[in-house]
């Protein structure tokens, strides 16, 4: 008897979670008026952009997460710029896929119906905007922006290569040791004060932009439906957003390759490639 009593909350939790329940999800979706889509690297996988858990976890012999730090940039700015030159090249030549397009299409539908639809992304590839999404919060910055290490001027820059010294560099198949070192003076410079610029990216151990955090907090505290798409939910603070929505008793729907949901409190789980599951769940024809 005690065993059953202990089992009941787990059983009710499991019965509560709906797997690939498109109809059930659609009922909740149609009633929602303030929807947030939280996205990670998985949404861009079908656009050919490596994820962090997948092949993208390493670049040459370096862990991407080690290169995405202020320390790495201070020690070897040329190597970090070569890494981001590679990331820019991949992102600039990639195309938004059906999951990006489905979110953009559904945002338009909501706009016509006076409902709110927003994207909060951990991705720095710019594919949400290129797919036509308008309400996009880029939590971790953007590859097409740079910031000056001296006067903090932020600038958009789609030049590829961003400087001559990075031409034909960045290829993950090449080994650092076989490449001539790039002198710091030949790295990208600030248009205003000529000091060294760095990618406008939030690196590990760095705080997010307070404005971006405030905008995200407002959405996470008011939305009535949250979609969690293609993220492993391990990096903070992004990883705590969807659980906060579930804690408020609002429905959360996860779209991930994995068959197991990242969090038991998520009501809906759609396993599989989000390029197929998301357009179907949102009922948009692309």
Positions in the binding site for Zn ion (CB under 5 A)? 148, 150-151, 153, 190, 192-193, 195
One of 85, 100, 128, 140 is an active-site residue; which one?
Answer: 140
Q: Smallest gap, in angstroms, from Cβ of residue 170 to ligand BV8?
A: 13
Residue 42 annotated as binding?
A: yes
Place of tokens 């990618």: 199
Mark whether 140 is an active-site residue.
yes
* Contacted entry of ligand BV8, Zn ion, none for residue 52, CB cut-off 5 to 8 Å set by kind: ligand BV8
Return phi, psi of residue 218, to 5°: -60, -45
Return phi, psi of residue 228, to 5°: -115, 110
Residue 24 annotated as binding?
A: no
Render 199-231 in DSSP notation, one character per residue.
EEE--TTSPPPHHHHHHHHHHHHH-SEEEEES-
Strand order in the sheet with 252-256: 18-19, 268-271, 252-256, 225-229, 34-39, 116-121, 136-138
Residues 6+ apart with CB under 8 A from 87: 124, 143
Residue 81 annotated as binding?
A: no
Residues at the interface with ligand BV8 (CB under 6 A): 40-42, 45-46, 51-53, 68, 122, 124, 140, 201-207, 230-232, 234-238, 255-258, 273-274
* Contacted entry of ligand BV8, Zn ion, none for residue 81, CB cut-off 5 to 8 Å set by kind: none
Which C-beta is closer to Zn ion: that of 109 or that of 195?
A: 195
Please give the annotated binding residues for substrate, written as ranges.
84, 87
Please give the annotated binding residues for Zn(2+), written as ranges.
148, 151, 190, 193
**Residues with a known catalytic role:** 140
Please give the annotated binding residues for NAD(+), written as ranges.
40-59, 122-125, 230-232, 256-258, 274
């Amino acid at each position: 008897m005690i065993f059953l009593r202990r089992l009941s909350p787990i059983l009710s939790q499991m019965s509560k979670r709906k797997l690939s329940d498109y109809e059930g999800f659609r009922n909740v979706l149609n009633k929602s008026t303030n929807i947030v889509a939280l996205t990670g690297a998985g949404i861009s996988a079908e656009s050919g952009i490596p994820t962090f858990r997948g092949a993208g976890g390493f670049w040459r012999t370096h862990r991407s997460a080690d290169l995405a730090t202020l320390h790495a940039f201070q020690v070897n700015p040329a190597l970090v710029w070569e890494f981001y030159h590679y990331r820019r090249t991949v992102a600039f030549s990639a195309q938004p896929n059906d999951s990006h397009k489905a979110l953009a299409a559904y945002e338009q539908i909501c706009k016509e119906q006076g409902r709110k639809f927003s994207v909060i992304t951990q991705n720095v590839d710019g594919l949400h905007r290129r797919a036509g999404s308008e309400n996009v919060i880029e939590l971790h910055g953007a590859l097409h922006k740079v910031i000056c290490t001296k006067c903090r001027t932020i600038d958009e820059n789609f030049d590829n290569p961003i400087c001559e010294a990075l031409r034909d560099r960045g290829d993950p198949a090449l080994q650092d040791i076989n490449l001539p070192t790039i002198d710091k003076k030949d790295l990208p410079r600030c248009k205003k004060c000529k000091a060294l610029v760095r990618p406008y990216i939030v690196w590990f151990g760095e705080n997010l932009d307070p404005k971006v955090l405030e905008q995200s907090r407002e959405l996470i505290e008011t939305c009535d439906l949250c979609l969690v798409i293609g993220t492993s939910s391990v990096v903070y603070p992004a990883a705590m957003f969807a659980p906060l929505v579930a804690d408020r008793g609002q429905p959360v729907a996860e779209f991930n390759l994995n068959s197991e949901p990242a969090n038991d409190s998520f009501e809906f789980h759609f396993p599989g490639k989000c390029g197929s599951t998301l357009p179907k769940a949102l009922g948009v024809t692309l």
